[in-house]
Amino acid sequence: MTTKTENRLPTAAYVNGKFISGHKKFNVINPATGEVIASAPDLGVADCKKAIDDAHTAWPGWRDTDVTQRSRIVQKWYELLMAHKDELARTMTLESGKPLSESLAEVDYGASFVEWFAEEAKRAYGESIPATKTGQRLITIRQPVGVVAAITPWNFPLAMITRKVAPALASGCTVVLRPASQTPLTALMVAKLAHQAGFPPGVFNVVTGKDSKGMGEELTTNELVRKISFTGSTEVGRTLMANAARTIKKVSLELGGNAPFLVFDDADIDAAVAGAITGKFRNSGQTCVSVNRFYVQDGVFDAFAEKLTTAVKELKVGNGLDNGVQVGPLINRDGLEKVKAHVEDAIDGGARLLTGGKAMEGLFYEPTVLADVSPSALLAHEETFGPVCALFRFKTEKEGIAMANDTEFGLAAYFYSRDVNRCWQVAEQLESGMVGINTGLVSNAVAPFGGVKQSGIGREGSKHGLDEYTEIKYLCFSE
């Protein structure tokens, strides 16, 4: 492995308003080249504990800061994120491998949560309830929960931070963030910009480190933490939830998906192919809402498969910093091995390979289309998290919906149809938190993002995103 350290990348964690280098460091690797691009502080459980103490000390002051002032600081943070768009995007591409065009789009997406919640915090309304006894007045108010621990993944190094941290800070909570150890640099840059925006010391803290188990345990068991927000795998989410149960913390979990994408006989096939490319190849298929299973009705199966294969063959694979690249590498060797295993298993089970199907140099995998995949294939049951389109065939609407719902996950689902009645019926019957109807992309700051079944608990973004960081307090006034 060669080393090519970039000069301008941030390398200090952020605790109680101070930038700390840490005694130990860990390397951050560019998955497109295998090069070490920087090193980040390898903090541990004790540092996490200190950051939680600092966040707890800072909480009353921040909670009691009037909302206009809190909102102004959050808004300033938004402006700084946008002003550093190019720098943030380049850092994201270097550490995650995603194409630069996607990183630039992620800065817009990530910052939009900050802008949205700067405004939304002013609308944390309570309610007035008609009393049942004369002389009583019943009202509710919303109050911030307290110290929030946020644990974020590598696939959206910026947006998954802002989607949690912005509503928490805007509503008057303080935060300790542990970003993924694969992509700590974007988080450190975000912390630097938060410092410039003027958050008081201890209000926002970022602890980087390799000890995901130890730090995760501290963040989810420490009594001072009142809320845990996590995005990542269902397996890890289950452990964190069990830990959090010991001190009955409020929990938001955005976990794994296994998104179906149905194409009905009445669909606009060209539009469905365009939606499929967006829904499958964003971040090389490494998103929780990536299409994992394409269910195509018999009458249009061949036409869809042919057009999709042509579009997939045109995708440009490479280093995300190179011009025109649309598909980057997998994040690491484990990710690549999983994709390889899923494709091999599908082919062994009788699937036809229409294009791709091979690992390339380094961590790259050819954009792949498989047709007539068996419903018992691994691809049908586990999130592949890679650039592979698996096509399954169905005959009737009822059968298609049953196949789509045959999973323990329920994050996103997509379908294409031009029949209005079918659109309503299918949307209502799909067991998922989000449904894309004639689109392959549903994510934005103003809509509620989240899953059902084992894909998670709670919603991020939208007006509901703020509820996750506040508690309802009921006040009963008697004369």
Q: Is 254 a catalytic residue?
A: yes
* Least distance to ligand SIN, CB of residue 461, Å: 8
* Least distance to ligand SIN, CB of residue 363, Å: 18
* 3-state SS assignment for residue 470: strand
| Other Cβ atoms within 10 Å of 130 Cβ, number | 7
Of 48, 173, 288, 389, catalytic: 288
* Least distance to ligand SIN, CB of residue 24, Å: 29
* Least distance to ligand SIN, CB of residue 215, Å: 20
* Least distance to ligand SIN, CB of residue 4, Å: 28
The DSSP H or E segment spanning 452 is: none
Which residue among 91, 96, 162, 443 contacts ligand SIN (CB under 6 A)?
Answer: 443
Nearer to ligand SIN, 31 or 357 (CB): 31
Residue 289 sits in the site that holds ligand SIN (CB under 6 A): yes
What residue is closest to ligand SIN based on CB? 443
Nearer to ligand SIN, 229 or 231 (CB): 231
Tell me, residue by residue from 8 to 47, as one string, x for binding to ligand SIN by CB under 6 A and - for no binding. Answer: ----------------------------------------
The structure tokens 């550093």 sit at 84
258-287 positions binding ligand SIN, by CB under 6 A: 287
Q: How far apart are alpha carbons 85 and 111 in whole angstroms?
A: 9
Which residue among 152, 174, 183, 231 contacts ligand SIN (CB under 6 A)?
Answer: 231
Tell me, residue by residue from 50 to 89, as one string, x for binding to ligand SIN by CB under 6 A and - for no binding. Answer: ----------------------------------------
Give the strand pairing for 388-394 and 412-416: unpaired
Q: How far apart are alpha carbons 406 and 357 in whole angstroms?
A: 26
Nearer to ligand SIN, 155 or 182 (CB): 155
Nearest to 407 by CA among 458, 454, 442, 449: 454
Assess contact for 284 and 246: CB atoms under 8 A: no
Residue 218 main-chain phi, psi, to 5 deg:
-65, -45
Q: How far apart are alpha carbons 158 and 180 in whole angstroms?
A: 11
Which residue among 288, 311, 380, 401 contacts ligand SIN (CB under 6 A)?
Answer: 288
Dihedral sign for Cα atoms in the order 21, 26, 31, 32: positive
Of 254, 366, 397, 468, catalytic: 254
Nearer to ligand SIN, 414 or 449 (CB): 449
* Least distance to ligand SIN, CB of residue 13, Å: 23
Residue 432 sits in the site that holds ligand SIN (CB under 6 A): no
Assess contact for 42 and 26: CB atoms under 8 A: yes
Nearer to ligand SIN, 51 or 389 (CB): 389
Q: How far apart are alpha carbons 286 and 413 in whole angstroms?
A: 16
Q: Token digits for 430?
A: 């799909």
Task: State the number of binding residues for ligand SIN (CB under 6 A).
Answer: 10
Tell me, residue by residue from 143 to 182, as one string, x for binding to ligand SIN by CB under 6 A and - for no binding. Answer: ------------xx--x-----------------------
Give the strand pairing for 250-254 and 225-231: parallel
Q: How far apart are alpha carbons 60 and 475 in whole angstroms?
A: 20
Nearest to 46 by CA among 24, 17, 27: 24
Nearest to 207 by CA among 59, 94, 95, 45: 45
Q: How far apart are alpha carbons 473 and 412 in whole angstroms?
A: 33
Long-range pairs for 119-124: beta carbons < 8 A, 24 or more residues apart: 119/71, 120/167, 120/170, 120/463, 120/465, 120/466, 121/67, 121/70, 121/71, 121/74, 121/167, 121/170, 121/171, 121/172, 121/466, 122/67, 122/68, 122/71, 123/463, 124/67, 124/171, 124/466, 124/470
Q: Which residues bind ligand SIN (CB under 6 A)?
A: 155-156, 159, 231, 254, 287-289, 443, 449
Q: Which residues are catalytic?
A: 254, 288
